[in-house]
Structure 1
C-alpha cells in the first residue's frame, strides 16, 4: 500500500552485504517488507521463528542452511533463536555471497547483543513507523498521521475509534507478552503506569528519582525499565549535544514516546479536537517531528539536543561529518523564537538552521534560518 523508504535501502544492502538485519517495533511493517522479497527473489524462503512449525522446519539450523545455500533466507523475530547466530556466522564465512540472509528483529538490544558474532558480516537497517515522506505531505494527511501515529494498522483504520482500539490492544500485548519475553518481568499494570508517566514527561529531561518516587521503586529500577523500553524501540532517549564551550550544559537525556499515536493513547487523546489546547500538544508535535528527522538521517549522522543551564536551547542538532544542522520545532503557523534560540546558534554554530512548523510553504526567517514544513525534512537532510 505504501512505498516504504526502507525498501530501497534493503535492496541496496542486499547487493553488497551477506546478511541484512531490519530493526523496528512490532507491526511497523518489517514482515510486509521482507515478504515482498519472495516475489523479487524466486526461491526465497521465509521463516517466522515464533512459529513452532517454522522452527521445526529449520531444525537445528546447519543442515537446513547448507541445503539452501543458494537461496535467500528470511528469518523473522530472530532474537528468539540466539543459538542461530553462530550457525549464520559459519554459513556466511563459507560463502561471502551478498544477499544470503535477511534478519528481522523487534528488540534492538537483544538482536544487537546476539549479533556481535556477526560483526563485519551484517548490515543494519532501522525501520520506522509510517513517515510523512511515505504517506503524503498535505496538511490533512500530516495531521492524521500525527494523531493516529505511524503503525500501519492504526493509520489505515476505518475510523478514529478503530485506530484507538487497535493501539490499545497493541499496547496490552506489549505489556503482557512482549516486554516480559524480553526480560522485563514486571507486572503489566506497573509497566503501564510507568509508560504513562513517560508520556507525561515526553520531551522533558529524564529524572529517574522523580518517577521512582511516584512509583515507589528505586531510581536504578526506573532506569532499567527505561532501557528496556528504549531497546524495545518504544521510547527514544535523546542525548545532549556536548561541545567544549566553557558553559554549564545539561547532562540528562530527553525522553520521547517514539510513536505519536501511542503517546496520544497514553495521554487519553482520541482526536485532533482533543489535541487543540492540550498542554502536551507542543511536546507531541516536537516528538513527531524528531521521528521524521531521525528516519532521514544520513548514514553515520548523529542526533542530539542542545541546552545550557541559563536557557540557551536548540531542539535538535544533526551532525553529519563536518556539517552541523540545527532544528527548532514550533507548533505554530507563525513561529516565534526566543533569545535562547539565538544564543544556541552562537554556541553550536550550525551550518544551517530550520524551524519546522505546520506550514505549507517554506520561507526565509533570518540569515541562515528558514521555516520549513515537516514534508521538507527529507530534502534538507539529503542536501
Structure 2
C-alpha cells in the first residue's frame, strides 16, 4: 500500500476518540487505508447485501462480533445501526475501537454527527496528493502527465491508464451515485452540467448562467452543485471577508478536487494536448488549490482557505487564514517568472498591512527565489507551504 499522508492523523485521533470516520469520494482509498491501520481487526462491508441485512435485522448481534472493534465500511448503507453503535462504544469505554468509512458525505455526516456526537472524529480522504503520487510507482512526474492523470489511487496501484479508467469511474460511480441522490431523469442534461462545471473550475460561480447554458432551472443547478460538493467532486472557495475599504466580489469560485476527472470531462485525450489547451491555466490553478485543500484535510490544519477579489478585478488566488494572520498565495501556470506575476500580490500586501505574512507565488516551473519578500516556488512544493515555516 502507498503510504497516505492522513495515516498519522488518523492514528493520533484514535488515541482520543472511540472511532474515526473517514469520508471522501469513491475510489479515494478509504477502505485500503482503514484496513491497513486496523489490519488485526475484523472488516465488515455494509455494501455486501447479506452483511447489511444482518446489521439491520439484528444490530446487537452484529455488533457482538466487534467487541475488540472493527472496520465498518460504507456505514451510510446501514444508518440505523449508528444508535446501537453509540451504546456499544459507551459500554466498552475504550478509545480507538472503530474506523467507519462512507462515500456519501451528504447523508453520512448528518447521521453520524447526530448519533455519535463526541465519539468520532472525522477525516476527509481525497485522491492522492502530489507527495503520495511520488511514493507510488508513477512512470512520470512531469507536470502535464500529473494534471492529466489526477490522483485517484487505482491509476497508480493497478495497470490502468486514465483514458480507460476515468470513463468507467464517471459511469459507475459519479453518475450512479449522484443520480441516485437527486433522482435525475435527464442523464444528458446532467452530463452536460458536469462538463460545464469542469469548464468553470477556477471561475466565479454564476448559477444563473450555468443553468441557462445547461437548459435547467436555477434551483436545479443549485441542487446539483450542492450534491457534487457533498460527493467530493468539487468544492466552493469563498471570498475573504476583509474588505480593506474596497468593494469585493461576494460569490464563491468552484474547483474540482481532481484534475484528471476535470480533464476527462473537458474532452482532453492525452497529456500532450494540455500544452496548448485554452484552459491549461485553470487546470493548473485547480491542481494547486486542490493540493492546498488536501494538505488541510490530511494534516487537520487549523487554516481556512479563501480567495480575494475587488471590483476592479484585482485578485489573489488563495488567502490562507491562520486565525487572522493571512498568507496570500498567487498561482501562475507559466514556467518563466516575470514581473507581472507580482502585481496583485504587491497591491494586496499594501492593503493588508500587518495582517499579512509569508506571501507566496507558486508557478509552473522549478525556479526558487525570494523577490521583494515574496517567496517564489515551483508547483512541486505547492502543499508544503501550509505545513512548513515560510
Per the normalisation by structure 2, the TM-score is 0.90
Aligned to 2:60: 62
Aligned to 2:148: 147
Bigger drift between 371-380 and 202-211 goes to 371-380
Aligned to 1:125: 123
Cα distance in 2 for residues equivalent to 1:53 and 1:81 = 12
Cα distance in 1 for residues equivalent to 2:200 and 2:238 = 15
Give 1:174 shift: 2.8
Cα distance in 1 for residues equivalent to 2:42 and 2:158 = 30
Is the partner of 1:185 in helix, strand or coil?
coil
Bigger drift between 331-340 and 285-294 goes to 331-340
Deviations 1:215-235 (A, max 9, x none): 222111101110000000001
Are the structure 2 counterparts of residues 360 and 29 from structure 1 closer, same or farther at C-alpha, using a change threshold of 3 Å? same
Is the partner of 2:382 in helix, strand or coil?
helix
Cα distance in 2 for residues equivalent to 1:276 and 1:258 = 21
Aligned residues: 376
| Conserved? CA contact 2:38–2:70, under 8 Å | no
Aligned to 2:101: 104
Are the structure 2 counterparts of residues 12 and 4 from structure 1 closer, same or farther at C-alpha, using a change threshold of 3 Å? same
Give 1:86 shift: 1.5
Give 1:176 shift: 3.9
Give 1:56 shift: 3.7
Aligned to 2:133: 135
Q: Provide runs of 4+ in structure 1 moved above 6 Å.
A: none
| Conserved? CA contact 1:154–1:167, under 8 Å | no
RMSD across aligned positions (CA): 2.1
Bigger drift between 124-133 and 327-336 goes to 327-336
Deviations 1:97-125 (A, max 9, x none): 11111111112221111112222111011
Residue 362 (1) aligns with residue 360 (2): no
Aligned to 1:82: 79
Cα distance in 2 for residues equivalent to 1:158 and 1:186 = 35
Give 1:10 shift: 1.5
Residue 374 (1) aligns with residue 379 (2): yes
Residue 278 (1) aligns with residue 277 (2): yes
Give 1:260 shift: 0.3
Deviations 1:175-198 (A, max 9, x none): 442113334434322211100000
Cα distance in 1 for residues equivalent to 2:385 and 2:171 = 38
Residue 341 (1) aligns with residue 341 (2): no
Bigger drift between 287-296 and 321-330 goes to 321-330
Cα distance in 2 for residues equivalent to 1:310 and 1:320 = 26
Deviations 1:240-297 (A, max 9, x none): 1111422111111101122100000011112221001111000000000111111112
Aligned to 2:110: 113
Deviations 1:125-184 (A, max 9, x none): 11111111112299941523221010012345646xx32121011001234421133344
| Conserved? CA contact 1:311–1:340, under 8 Å | no
| Conserved? CA contact 2:203–2:253, under 8 Å | yes
Q: 1:321 aligns with which of 320, 323, 327?
A: 323
Cα distance in 2 for residues equivalent to 1:215 and 1:333 = 35
Aligned to 1:204: 203
Is the partner of 1:352 in helix, strand or coil?
coil
Mind listing any 5+ residue stretches in structure 1 that lack a counterpart?
A: none
Is the partner of 1:292 in helix, strand or coil?
helix
Aligned to 1:249: 248
Aligned to 1:177: 176
Aligned to 1:306: 308
Aligned to 1:32: 32
Deviations 1:43-69 (A, max 9, x none): x12111111122244343223224432
5 Å-filtered alignment, 1:190-201, equals 190-201=189-200
Mind listing any 5+ residue stretches in structure 2 that lack a counterpart?
A: none
Cα distance in 2 for residues equivalent to 1:155 and 1:225 = 30
Cα distance in 2 for residues equivalent to 1:247 and 1:186 = 44
Give 1:203 shift: 0.7
Bigger drift between 281-290 and 345-354 goes to 345-354
Is the partner of 2:371 in helix, strand or coil?
strand
Cα distance in 1 for residues equivalent to 2:328 and 2:169 = 34
Aligned to 1:164: 163
Cα distance in 1 for residues equivalent to 2:140 and 2:314 = 33
